[in-house]
């Protein structure tokens, strides 16, 4: 029960953190788009994506820090965990220094890399400069961020994220209220929050991991090499994910123009929010899976994996199913100056893959837990190349334009998430593939159920022209679909434990 209670605490805290983050972006994005225009706004996610390109090099070490430190620490070997911690710290410091000069060069020469109107060039350069500064700071200190994963205290991590988002919202509102609107305000406040979060990581590493101390002299080449031998495949994964998910805005800017890119970036705003919550929720489940693997508790690992997949499908079905039906209403209310119909259908093509990946992202993390990353990395890299080549070819040789990007991504996502990932994960865990597919299917059924409930509601109640009627539709549809889905997703014992834990938390 202690493990289930910790999972629930982590889950609730993470959900609240996401709600705060979503609220900040939900309120501010329409104002920013109206103040700056969708064309100017598109450079913010493009800058974020460039940071992702730079992270291809650095992810090889820092992505595996939490895994190696957690395994050693939970095996009762804090000295060995400390070696991995300091080895990662040294590696990340070196990589961040190596990336400093390229970051400066890209920022100063951004006009020669992407299409930037002359009137926006100084603001775009500052936007990229702040984005790279935050990346370098976070990278150099990322070893300290592993404390929450190692100790399975993601509730603390969620709390600091809430505090950071509130801080960012306050500063952003002040900047946009007192000064002329600038796009670089967005990334400047991200850097401010980054400084706050790094400070919090230092404090909690000292508090929660008293056996681990920063000491560069305790780093070893063997530990770095061991992390690199596994993490290098995460670099391939990072490159592949860029080609599959974030290169789209860069390609759109080059082949469809900055105006179309602005529309596409707005249409991806909500799907990207959902992708963020998927990433955060997956992070809630993975630490416990790693602990079970470290302790060789195979049956508990299998049960926890199944429960995690089904829970992800259940939780993500609400926003995905609702927006598949009511997306046009949402964009009409949220950004009334934009083409709501076009934004809706562009977002639909992005939401459908999320309905699948929300169930399989936990499965994909099994490759990290079991330290079997090479084959998934190679497969994902090949799919990324196919995705990029196909999208460029269709944009250059057909009249599809911007629509080619999400259509190709949809097909590739189905191949990755429904064909490769479940099969190879079952092989890594030495379990029948049916035991992986079964919870995935049940998780996807939740989105189907939510979508059908929303379609029925829309048929009966025609108008959602105000925020009140829109939110009322969301609540009613979620309640109806939630009751049905919780009966499908969880067995009797899981439902009893789930409701008893919720009740205990409410009493607190």
Q: Which residues contact 390 (CB under 8 A, 6 or more apart)?
A: 404, 408
Q: Give the model's confidence band at 283: pLDDT under 50 very low, under 70 low, under 90 confident, else very high.
A: confident
Taking 80 as the threshold, does the pLDDT of residue 11 lie above it?
no
Q: How far apart are CA 305 and CA 3, in angstroms?
A: 14
User: In angstroms, rounded to a whole number, what is the distance separating the alpha carbons of residues 238 and 228?
Assistant: 14
- Report the 10 Å Cβ neighbour count for 325: 22
CB atoms under 10 Å from CB of 419, counted, come to 11
Mean pLDDT of 477-483: 91
Determine the pLDDT at residue 505.
43
Cβ atoms of 61 and 227 within 8 Å: the answer is yes
- Which run of H or of E encompasses 136? helix 121-140
For the chain, the maximum distance between any two Cα atoms, rounded to a whole number of angstroms, is: 69
pLDDT confidence of residue 425? 87
What is the model's pTM?
A: 0.63
Question: Which pLDDT belongs to residue 492?
Answer: 77
Q: Which of 3-12, 21-30, 422-431 has the highest mean pLDDT?
A: 422-431
Work out the percent of the chain whose per-residue pLDDT is above 70: 82
**Does 506 have pLDDT greater than 50?**
no
Burial of 432 (0-12, 13-18, 19+ CB in 10 A): exposed
**pLDDT for 297-346, tens place per residue?**
888 888 888 888 888 888 889 989 999 999 889 888 887 877 888 888 88
Around Cβ 136, how many Cβ atoms within 10 Å? Answer: 21
Q: How far apart (Å, rounded) are the C-alpha atoms in residues 148 and 56?
A: 23
Query: pLDDT tens digits for 82-121?
Result: 888 888 888 888 888 988 998 999 999 988 888 788 888 8
Residue 206 burial by Cβ neighbours in a 10 Å radius (0-12, 13-18, 19+): middle
State how far the Cα of 472 lies from the Cα of 475, in Å rounded to an integer: 5
Note every long-range contact of 417-424, with CB atoms under 8 Å and residues 24 or more positions apart, other chains counting: 417/353, 417/356, 417/357, 417/359, 417/360, 418/356, 418/360, 420/376, 420/379, 421/360, 421/363, 421/364, 421/376, 422/360, 422/363, 424/367, 424/375, 424/376, 424/379
Q: How many CB atoms lie within 10 A of CB 307?
A: 21
* 381/232 Cα distance (integer angstroms): 12
Q: Write a three-state SS string for 12-50.
A: HHHHHHHHHHHHHHHHHHHHHHHHHCHHHHCHHHHHHHH
pLDDT at 62: 60
Per-residue pLDDT at 209 exceeds 90 = no
Res. 133 pLDDT band, cuts 50 70 90: very high
Q: What is the chain's mean pLDDT, rounded?
A: 80
pLDDT at 1: 43
Tokens encoding 135: 């990346």
Q: What is the reported pLDDT for 195?
A: 93
CA-to-CA distance for 361 and 438, rounded, in angstroms? Answer: 15
Phi-psi region of 37 (alpha: psi -120 to 50; beta: other; left: phi over 0): left
Query: Using CA atoms, how far apart are residues 321 and 454, in angstroms rounded to an integer?
Result: 7
% of the chain beyond a pLDDT of 90: 11
Q: What is the mean pLDDT of residues 132-153?
A: 84
Q: Is residue 25 within 8 Å of residue 269, measured between CB atoms? A: yes
- pLDDT value, residue 508: 44
Tell me how far CA of residue 237 lies from CA of 73, 231, 367, 459, in angstroms: 26, 9, 11, 43
**Cα 448 to the chain's mean position, in Å?**
22
Tens of pLDDT, residues 26-83: 666 677 667 666 667 778 777 877 777 666 666 665 666 777 888 788 777 888 888 8
């Amino acid at each position: 029960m202690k493990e289930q209670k910790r999972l629930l605490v982590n889950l609730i805290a993470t959900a609240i953190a996401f709600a705060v983050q979503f609220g900040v972006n939900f309120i501010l994005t329409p104002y920013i788009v109206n103040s700056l225009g969708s064309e100017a706004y598109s450079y913010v996610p493009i800058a974020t994506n460039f940071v992702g390109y730079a992270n291809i090099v650095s992810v090889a070490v820092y992505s595996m820090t939490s895994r190696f430190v957690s395994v050693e620490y939970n095996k009762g070997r804090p000295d060995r965990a400390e070696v991995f911690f300091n080895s990662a710290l040294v590696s990340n410091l070196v990589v961040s220094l190596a990336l400093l000069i390229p970051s400066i060069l890209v920022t100063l020469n951004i006009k020669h890399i992407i299409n930037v109107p002359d009137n926006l060039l100084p603001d775009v350069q500052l936007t990229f400069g702040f984005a790279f500064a935050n990346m370098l700071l976070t990278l150099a200190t990322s070893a300290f961020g592993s404390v929450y994963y190692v100790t399975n205290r993601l509730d603390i991590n969620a709390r600091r994220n809430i505090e950071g988002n509130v801080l960012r919202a306050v500063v952003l509102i002040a900047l946009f209220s007192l000064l002329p609107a600038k796009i670089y305000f967005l990334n400047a406040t991200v850097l401010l929050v980054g400084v706050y979060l790094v400070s919090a990581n230092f404090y909690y590493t000292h508090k929660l991991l008293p056996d681990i101390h920063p000491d560069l002299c305790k780093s070893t080449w063997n530990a770095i090499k061991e992390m690199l031998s596994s993490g290098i495949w995460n670099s391939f994964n990072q490159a592949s994910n860029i080609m599959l998910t974030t290169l789209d805005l860069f390609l759109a800017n080059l082949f469809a123009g900055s105006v179309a890119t602005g529309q596409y970036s707005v249409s991806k705003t909500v799907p990207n929010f959902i992708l963020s919550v998927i990433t955060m929720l997956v992070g809630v489940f993975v630490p416990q899976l790693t602990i079970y693997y470290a302790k060789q508790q195979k049956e508990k690992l299998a049960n926890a994996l199944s429960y995690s997949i089904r829970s992800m499908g259940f939780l993500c079905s609400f926003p995905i199913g609702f927006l598949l039906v009511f997306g046009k209403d949402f964009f009409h209310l949220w950004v009334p100056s934009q083409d709501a119909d076009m934004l809706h259908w562009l977002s639909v093509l992005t939401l459908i893959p999320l309905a699948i990946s929300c169930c399989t992202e936990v499965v994909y993390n099994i490759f990290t837990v079991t330290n079997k990353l090479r084959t998934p990395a190679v497969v994902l890299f090949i799919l990324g190349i196919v995705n990029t080549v196909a999208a460029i070819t269709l944009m250059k040789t057909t009249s599809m334009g911007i629509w080619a990007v999400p259509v190709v991504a949809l097909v590739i996502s189905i191949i990755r998430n429904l064909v490769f990932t479940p099969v190879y994960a079952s092989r890594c865990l030495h379990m029948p593939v049916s035991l992986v597919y079964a919870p995935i299917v049940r998780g996807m059924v939740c989105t189907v159920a939510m979508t059908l409930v929303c379609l029925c509601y829309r048929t009966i109640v025609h108008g959602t022209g105000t925020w009140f009627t829109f939110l009322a539709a969301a609540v009613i549809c979620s309640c109806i679909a939630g009751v049905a889905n919780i009966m499908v997703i969880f067995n009797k014992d899981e439902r009893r434990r789930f409701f008893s834990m919720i009740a205990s938390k409410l009493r607190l």
